[in-house]
Structure 1
C-alpha cells in the first residue's frame, strides 16, 4: 500500500455530501459541519477562505486565502471555517453538520435558495460558483493519516487536471440511476489528484517523502500489507538491505517515529477499524489479524494507547 492508497483507505467516499453554490456578492458563510475532510473547487469567480471571521483574533492570527477559478482547496476538519466574497465580508449564513441545518446567523431562515439538484445560492447567475464535497468518514486509519495533512491545502489553477473537476461539476447536478456512486468515485479521483500534487511539493511532510525512499518506502509497504507478521527492526532491516542501526535512523528521520512505534500505531488503528467493520469479529480474531498473539495482549495495548478497551471502543461507536 503506497502513501496515497493509505490516505484513501479510510476516507473513501461513501454517500459523500456534494453541493454546487451560485453566489453574487456580498455573500458569506460560516461552515460548522465539522466534516473530517472537505474539497472545494472554485468553478467560476473567486472567494476568500479562512479559519475566522473578519475582525476576530483568529482571523488576525491566521489570515485567510484568496482562491480563484481553477483552484482547489482541501480542508481538514473538524475545525470551523468561513468562506466569503472578500476578507471584509461578515458571514450571514451558518451551515451546520446536518445538510438541512442551514440558517441565517441571527437564527432566522436561510437567505439562500435551492435551485435544483444539489444546487443552491443567492443568485443562479452569480459571478462565483463553488463546488463543495465532504467526506463523512470516521475510520481510525483514515484519521491517523489525515492528521498528517495541514488544515488547509490550496492547489492553484494548472496544478490539478481540470478534466476531473469539470466532470464532477457536471455530474453533481444530475439525478440518474447510480448517481451517488458516480459522485463518490469522482470525488475520490479528484482527491487522489490533489494528494499526488501536494505530495510532490518540496514542502510536503517527510512522511510522504518517505514513501519514495527505496528502503523506508519498502518497509512501510511491508508493514501496511502484512501487519500480522512478527516484525522486528532486525527483520525489516534485512528485508530492505540495510544494517539495523542505519535502517532505524533512516526510518525515524523520514517518518518521524521509530519503526516499532509506527507499527504499534498502525496495528491499533487497524484493530479499531476491524472491530467496527464486522459485528461478528471478536477481540481474539482481530488480535490475530493485526499481529497480537492473544486478545489480552491487544486489549492491554489498546487501553494503554487509547485509554479504553476494545469492547468499550465498540460500544461507544455503536
Structure 2
C-alpha cells in the first residue's frame, strides 16, 4: 500500500538551505512577522516559548521540534521572564559562527537550530495546505538521535559542516512529519492519516491514482457510509475527497511532465483522466497553463530551481 506522506515529501524534494545555531542567555524575545518558507525550531539545550495568534503558547524543551508550515506572525521568547524592552531586532553574530540572543556575556541557557525549509518542486503550497498550522514533535527516539547529531555538528567547525547540517535537517523534516503527535485542531493530511478509516481511502487514492474513483467507492474502502465518509474526510483533511484526489493527480501529473515521462495522453491516463482533452482542461484550470506549455517551461528551468525562482531570476 502507498505511503501518502512519503510520496508527497518525495515529490516536493525538501531541503534546508538556511539554518543557524542560536544560543540564548537571560531574558530575550524575538518576533517574526513573515517567513517566506516553512520555518522550524529544534531545541538542543534548555527551553523556549513559542506563540502565535491561532495556536496560543507552546513550551519547547530540549529534544522538541516544531515546524510552522505557513509562518506569518509568531513570537519566541526565553524561559526567563522577559519584557518588550528585551525584544531582539538583530541577533549578535558570534565570531565562530552562530547567533546570540539576550546577554552576550551571560551563561548560555538555551541552544537551538532554527531556519527555514525550501522545496525544489513548485508544489510547496500542496504540503502547506495539507499540514496543521503548527507541527509539534516531542520525545521521539529517532528524532532525539537526529537532534543529538545536529547539536554536535552545530557546535563544531569540522570540514563539510554546512553540507552535513543540510542533509541532517532534511531527514529531520521528514521524520518530524512522520512522527508528529500534537496535530492541534486544524485539519490536514496528518489528521487524515491518523484516522484508521480515512487512512485506508487516502492510501488507496495514492496507490491507484489512475482508477476512476467515486466517493461511494472510497467510502467502501473506508468502511463508512457515503455521507459519513464525505463529512469525516472534509472535517479531518480540510477538503472534500474528490478535491484531494484532484490535487494529488495534478501534483503527480506535474512531476511526470517535468521528467518528460510520456506524452500528454499517456500521462492523462496514468493520473485518472479518460482523455487528453479532459486532462488538459483540468490541468489548465488547476495550474493556469496547458500540460504541453508546462512541460516546455519545466525543461528550461535549471535543476534545483523552482519555477517561481526561475521566473524571478529572468524578470
Q: TM-score, normalised by structure 2?
A: 0.70
- Find the aligned partners of 1:212 and 1:67 in 2 and give their Cα distance: 23
Distance verdict in 2 for CA 1:240–1:67, change over 3 Å: closer
Q: Which runs of 5+ in 1 are unaligned?
A: 52-57, 94-103, 105-109
After TM superposition, give the deviation of residue 284 of structure 1 in Å: 4.5
2:99 matched to 1:120? yes
After TM superposition, give the deviation of residue 20 of structure 1 in Å: 0.8
What pairs up with 1:1-12 in 2 under 5 angstroms? 1-6=2-7, 8-10=9-11, 12=13
Distance verdict in 2 for CA 1:254–1:38, change over 3 Å: closer
Contact 1:303 1:309 in 2 (8 A): yes
Residue 115 of structure 1: SS of its match in structure 2?
A: coil
Q: Deviations over 1:93-125 (max 9, x none)?
A: 3xxxxxxxxxx4xxxxx6433423xx2326485
What pairs up with 1:1-318 in 2 under 5 angstroms? 1-6=2-7, 8-10=9-11, 12-31=13-32, 34-51=35-52, 64-85=57-78, 86=82, 88-89=84-85, 91-93=87-89, 104=90, 111-116=92-97, 119-121=98-100, 123=104, 126-137=108-119, 139=121, 141-156=123-138, 158=139, 161-174=143-156, 182-199=164-181, 205=187, 207-213=189-195, 215-233=197-215, 235-236=217-218, 251=233, 254-275=236-257, 277-278=258-259, 283-284=264-265, 286-310=267-291, 311=293, 314=297, 317=308, 318=310
Q: Deviations over 1:262-311 (max 9, x none)?
A: 21121122233444x43787645543442334443223112323455443
Q: Which runs of 5+ in 2 are unaligned?
A: 299-306, 311-315
Residue 47 of structure 1: SS of its match in structure 2?
A: strand
- Find the aligned partners of 1:9 and 1:50 in 2 and give their Cα distance: 30
Give aligned pairs, total.
Answer: 291
Distance verdict in 2 for CA 1:77–1:204, change over 3 Å: closer
Q: CA RMSD in A?
A: 4.0
- Find the aligned partners of 2:159 and 2:264 in 1 and give their Cα distance: 40
Q: TM-score, normalised by structure 1?
A: 0.69
After TM superposition, give the deviation of residue 44 of structure 1 in Å: 2.5
- Find the aligned partners of 2:117 and 2:172 in 1 and give their Cα distance: 12
